[in-house]
Chain A
Amino acid sequence: MADKKVHLIVKRQEGPDSAPYWEEFEVPHTPGMNVISALMETRLNPVTRDGKRVRPVTWDSGCLEEVCGACSMLINGRPRQSCSALVDNLEQPIRLEPFSKFPVLRDLMVDRSPMFEALKRIKAWVPVDGTYAMGPAEKIDPAQQQEMYKYSECMTCGCCLEACPQYNDSSAFVGASAIGQAYLFNMNPTGKTLKDDRLDEMMGPGGVVDCGNAQNCVRVCPKGIPLTDAIAAIGGQVTLHAVKRLLRQ
């Protein structure tokens, strides 16, 4: 149908310290369109549904194929990537909001830098000696590679944190994505040399013990990463680690 429309309700906010408000837009429907292309349409003629000319909507986006993690937002209340949210699969009007667990920069764009800080905290890297030619790495069992691959697809999009009841202003909880990365690097033949450091972090405040087992993270992860398996595994590693530390004392 040529005159089919898409109805968007967008939560807007001028800047970090302003109060939010809502605006509604209506754009032409095209086959296969996603939330991003609906938003792109609004920029071509930024006029609200009731005819008011407004400034264009601000949102974060990058690859538009769900590998960069940039375009996270709440879509009809659910945390997800707006590129892979196809309009035809959504109930209209489509309600778009910024994530609530991170400071809003403007409109739908938030500051997720705490997620990258968390990766520093848990030393999410393999401590290689250097970048010179030092020969091949250790062989890796294909089954283990498959297990590691699942976690290495984490794109730091923040959906798991937005959905987590324990991740909020009053808690230091590091959240599922970082725990998944701790699990990944503890599995790597060289990465595991930092395992004790990571488990120290995971034992402390904001570590894995803060998980309330709501399991929302695994339900919203756009990449289907088995985050609760990682949480359980790291929980087990932390227990062993604690016992070892006790014995050492």
Chain B
Amino acid sequence: MSGRVIIVGGGLAGLAATIKVAEAGVPVDLFSVVPVKRSHSVCAQGGINAAKNMKGEGDHPDIHVTDTLFGGEYLADQPLVRRMCDEAPNIIDLLDRMGVTFNRTPEGFLDFRRFGGTLHNRTAFAGATTGQQLMYALDEQVRRYEAASLVEKYEYWEFLSAVKDGEGRCRGIAAMNIWDREVKVFRANAVCICTGGPGMVFGKSTNSVINTGAAASRVWQQGVWYANGEFIQVHPTSIPGADKLRLISESVRGEGGRVWVPRNPADKRDPVEIPDSDRDYFLETKYPKYGNLVPRDVATREIFSVCVDENRGINGENMVYLDITPARSGKDGEVLERKLGGVFEIYRKFAGDDPIQRPMRIFPGMHYSMGGLWVSPVDGGGQVRQKTNVPGLFSAGEVEFQYLGANRLGANSLLSCIFGGFTAGPRMVEWIASHPEEADESVYSDELKRQNAENDKVLGMNSGGENAFALHRELGQAMTAQCTVVRRNEGLRQLMDKLGELEERWSDIDVNDASTPVNQSFAFTRALFDMIQLAKAMAKGALLRDECRGAHYKPDFDLEKPEKEQLGDHRMTDAYKGFVRELEAKHGVEYDAKFKEAPAGTAPAAPEFQEYMRNWVEQQKRWSKTTLATWKPNAEPDIEFRDVVMTCEPPKPRIYK
């Protein structure tokens, strides 16, 4: 077959896409700012979800779909989630065949553990370094294709822009070799952006320092829509550090870890000396059914509220205990070591204490972006497309927006990245078969000129008084303060102004290095501009979305919930019944009876709950929509809201008990 594919980013999604394209016999140029084996996917610890029902719990992909949609508060495109969850068991088998060292049951089957937002043991894992193991398995397969000359790697190359022709179609990319700053343009019939999350926009996060979001921002500035940017997952458990926030995996809670603070905030005893009667296991008390395994957004807000609103953190600081010691988790130390060794190692090395001996001290940290580049929903034949609104430009992985909704359930990220990559690959192969024509040379030379001019401009920035790294800290602090756990319109308005100010001050940066080899100061300065742009998409979306949904929590617009005793079954309310009928008519479907009819004998809803459901339905009609941001030069982005495809099941109120 003629034609070439370019894949930008060598994490799970990029590698998965590369494998599929190469397998079809189409050559791939794979670009990455780092050797692909060092991509951020290696940081994922806990595992990957697949409803294989290996523990006799009656698990099924249908339940995986419902958990994912419910956990993401119904912003995820439903047919896509359906496809992903159906495919998950096959993906696990394939990864196993590729040699991933998944943990085993005594008989030698794959072992599964429980993660947040589900009641099933659905998560396959390789110690506590699952992301690393999955990445390596895919990296090895790509190396195999590299040895067979089907894949050419461009490592230490930074993506600068898509090359677009006069009709707006993507014809290749411009990229820069970061060893010697040379910019080149590369031809391709299809390009896939798989560049991961934007953690650096928040200064410190659980992300790698390479996760600037610059590539996403660059194509956004070239016309790709950015969707659901305001949905930023703050992970409940991380170790605060001077350089970054280090993730402590949800699997710690999945294996029995318990979150608590001393009942008396002034209790200065060593935590192991504090008896259960003097501990407040606040998640277990408030959520008896899910306990410590409520979804991430819920756990994060509870921990944040205990520390910030109630001032009950350990020693008055913003920290709570996460207790996996055998005495409290009821698990054997050796077994824990085998399943969580990788997490313990991080805590031992960076916090200097042993989680088996003494509870960990943790606090929420910015972790994942549910939002990202817009990709189109399934086509008429039910195929997932992974295609952006720029023809010829595809996207997969954390950098796109579509599988997770308003909040991601643990261990769905590795799945959505691999599934997205595996899907994007064949779609690109189809695309190039029907789009084999070559673009005119001038399309490339024009883009090369444009990028060289941009580089010269940044390299020439040497008379101002700003330091790029200091400005980045300010960006991170402002975003973390106003655009993470709790959001208020006044703060978000100030944030938008602050971002405008940072953009102005950006021109005043002294790059302080005009030399050629590995000029990080220059490259970072360029990326910082793009980070500020992307921050605007996130902040503006948050500002306009006047509601609470998943990771987006705006207390001024929270629906008042009735007392616990007045809560009832939503299917017993008139408001909900009417809403479901409307949705069925709108989407031309008839939902399964279980979503509409409460079991016989269910108590009628209390008037307070009826009232709550009326308000809830109004909120859904107004806000269960995808946020679409369009970039504007020197201005705030334009935002519009679009309907979500809800052909599988109707939303239901997200109440975890």
Contacts and interface: CB of A to CB of B under 8 A. Distances in A.
Interface string A123-135: 1111110110111
Interface stretch (A61-69, A165-173, A201-209, A239-247): A61-69
Interface stretch (A36-44, A211-219, A229-237): A36-44
B243 A83 contact: yes
Contact of A124 (B109, B143, B209, B470): B143
A16 B180 CA distance: 10
B241 A37 contact: yes
Contact of A137 (B93, B246, B345): B93
Contacts of B278: none
Interface string B135-150: 0110011011011000
B132 A126 contact: no
Interface in A138-169: 139-142, 145-146, 148-149, 152-153, 155-156
A86 B129 contact: no
Interface string A56-95: 1010011111111110000000000001101000000000
Q: How large is the interface on B (under 10, 10 to 19, 20 to 34, 35 or more residues)?
A: 35 or more
B208 A64 contact: yes
Contacts of A44: 467, 469-470, 473
A149 B127 contact: yes
A109 B518 contact: yes
Contacts of A100: none
Interface size class of A (residues with CB under 8 A): 35 or more
A65 B244 contact: yes
A28 to B, nearest CB: 10
B23 A131 contact: yes
Nearest to B241: A32
Given A15-B517, A65-B246, A116 B37 contact: yes
Given A56-B521, A64-B243, A106-B517, A135 B93 contact: yes
A86 B175 CA distance: 36
B132 A155 contact: yes
A135 B96 CA distance: 10
Nearest to B95: A137
Interface string B189-220: 00000000000000000001110000000000
A128 B97 contact: yes
A155 B42 contact: yes
B104 interface: yes
B34 interface: yes
B171 to A, nearest CB: 28
Given A58-B520, A64-B208, A141-B104, A126 B140 contact: yes
A133 B517 contact: no
Contact of A40 (B23, B104, B105, B469): B469
B594 interface: no
Given A133-B90, A134-B97, A190-B97, A55 B38 contact: no
A30 interface: yes
A113 B179 CA distance: 13
B108 A68 contact: no
Contact of B93 (A37, A130, A136, A148): A136
Given A64-B244, A134-B97, A145-B104, A14 B37 contact: no
A43 B469 contact: yes
Contacts of B242: 30, 32-34, 37, 40
Q: Which 10 A-B pairs have the closest CB atoms?
A: A139-B108, A15-B517, A125-B140, A37-B243, A126-B99, A137-B96, A37-B242, A142-B104, A106-B518, A55-B513
27 contacts: A32-B350, A33-B243, A55-B513, A61-B209, A65-B247, A68-B39, A70-B38, A84-B349, A86-B349, A113-B35, A123-B144, A123-B147, A125-B144, A126-B141, A128-B141, A133-B94, A139-B108, A142-B104, A145-B101, A148-B101, A149-B126, A153-B129, A153-B132, A153-B342, A155-B37, A156-B37, A190-B97
Given A45-B467, A64-B244, A64-B246, 9 more contacts: A58-B518, A65-B246, A86-B352, A125-B143, A128-B98, A131-B94, A133-B90, A142-B103, A153-B132
Interface of B: 19-20, 23, 34-35, 37-40, 42-43, 90, 93-94, 96-99, 101-109, 126-127, 129, 132-133, 136-137, 140-141, 143-144, 146-147, 155, 179, 208-210, 241-244, 246-247, 338, 342, 345-346, 349-352, 422, 467, 469-470, 473, 512-513, 515-521
Interface of A: 14-16, 30, 32-34, 36-37, 40, 43-46, 53, 55-56, 58, 61-70, 83-84, 86, 105-107, 109, 112-113, 116, 119-120, 123-128, 130-131, 133-137, 139-142, 145-146, 148-149, 152-153, 155-156, 185, 188, 190-191
